[in-house]
Structure 1
Amino acid sequence: MSANVVVIGSLNMDLVTRAPRLPLGGETLIGHSFATVPGGKGANQAVAAARLGAAVAMVGCVGNDAYGAQLRDALLAERIDCRAVSTVEGSSGVALIVVDDNSQNAIVIVAGANGALTSAVVDRFDDVLQAADVVICQLEVPDATVGHALKRARALGKTVILNPAPAGRALPPDWYAAIDYLIPNESEAATLSGLPVDSLESAERAASHLIGLGAGKVLITLGAQGLLFASGTGFEHFPAPKVKAVDTTAAGDTFVGGFAAALARGESEAQAIRYGQVAAALSVTRAGAQPSIPTRSEVKAFKSS
């Protein structure tokens, strides 16, 4: 299978409970429901790109447990090329997610098999990267692997996207030159830039700082406030489509996958941003991570309504 989008990253089983609100320290709450849902930022972005029109390959690791088989099967059901999804000894990655009645969430991630995605594993599947037009990375696998993958994709002349999530610290300085599109949310942009991001103006300052570090272009997702696009020549604000949010769990991943899919089929940056925004808006109207991600036909129907 030839893939025009390759995602290098995490696969997690999401253990999701819904509760009236997020618990306080030491507090026990009675929840509304519980479900196990395939997730992980890498796998979510792969599913999003596939449903939104791209031919997709996934590079990652799962454990030799029941979750690992389920995670692989979920990708195969989306016609995602999984020959670079390796099975390793031990448990698969998991994410413990609480979603409150206001659709906000709190997440704890245990890496499991995602920690086994090394640079050597990526190199074993170099032919997969060579077949790509767009390569996407995130930060739920080892940093050394992410840096290696970014630089290899750049060396191959691919369009390189980094979604720096979860961002607990600044990125290594030598990563930036390999990144065409850096796509953080507000808190991630603040962490990476060391500047507060709480308004459109402050987002512009943070984006300028990140471009100064060497990133090609920066897209800061601002939730209900839309998105700020920054390049070396200026800024553009893209307002968010208006919807009623139910669960924001995979909104960022859906945007990244939709944006990448649109770029891979030759759409302009502005078209790709708007496409990803509509896909993300549809995703927040549904519960769950991968189950919430819309298809290309659903995005088309929303845009024409």
Structure 2
Amino acid sequence: MEVRDEPEEPGWEVDPEDEQGVALVTFVGRQLRARREASGLRAAEFATAMGYGEGLVYKVESGKRIPRPEYLEKADEVLGAGGAVAAMKDDVAEARYPKKVRDLADMEARAVEIGAYVAHGLHGLLQTEGHARALFEARRPAYAQGEVERMTAARTARQSIFDRLPGPTLSFVQEESALRRPIGGTMEWRQQLERLVQIGQLRNVTLQVMPTYREAHPGMDGKIELLKFQDGTAVGRSEGAFNGRPVTDPKQLRILEMRYGIIRAEALAPGETLAFIEQLLGET
């Protein structure tokens, strides 16, 4: 049997500054150890049955390593937990994501409507995995590779919003310059453009491009984002208004909605946008 210790795999380390994540991983580790001991298995025996190295077992049980979903599935089988251990895999997997990303993903998951204008780059929900990784690798000071993988996985996981049923109403306005920058190289750029075409064809998504020949518009100060929820509440944020902080006051939200509405009116129509992206694909 192949032994998989995974000592060098980045992205599954525990962030000591994330108290919530640390508490969850520590709890899961203690549960695994208690179930193992109750089954009469020593760590070495459990590791052999799992097909992983003994060192990884100790790291997981001591809360120093986030167990991958397949690790928990195998542990469930070995320990005869009847699904109780495997059921923790989704919550545990989220522990690898930074808290601010988890909070954002939670809001996006609850939203019934999202509208976003992005002045620089592509919105995180639109980025391919390779595009996101290239952006994180370009940051300075440089991230450790484990942090790059952690942030990339977190951004990619948020895109499950496109699989929701019923899906939320999503609207994106992107600057033309973001679509012309070959982030990650030509092949990754093509994959990104193809991904935009795919997303833009979804019935619950409106994708628009703000052409560079447009003169000044209300989004010149930066990103605008609006999320609306089932209970009628909403939250908005703009880099160019209210000091960039999230706002929920109806008067402030109306200002952001007015700016976003003007931006959408001045951008290319969805059909024109898809034609423009397909034109770019033909030029690559």
Question: TM-score by structure 2 length?
Answer: 0.28
Q: By percentage of residues, which structure has more helix?
A: 2
TM-score, normalization by structure 1 = 0.27
* Structure of larger gyration radius: 2
More strand by share: 1
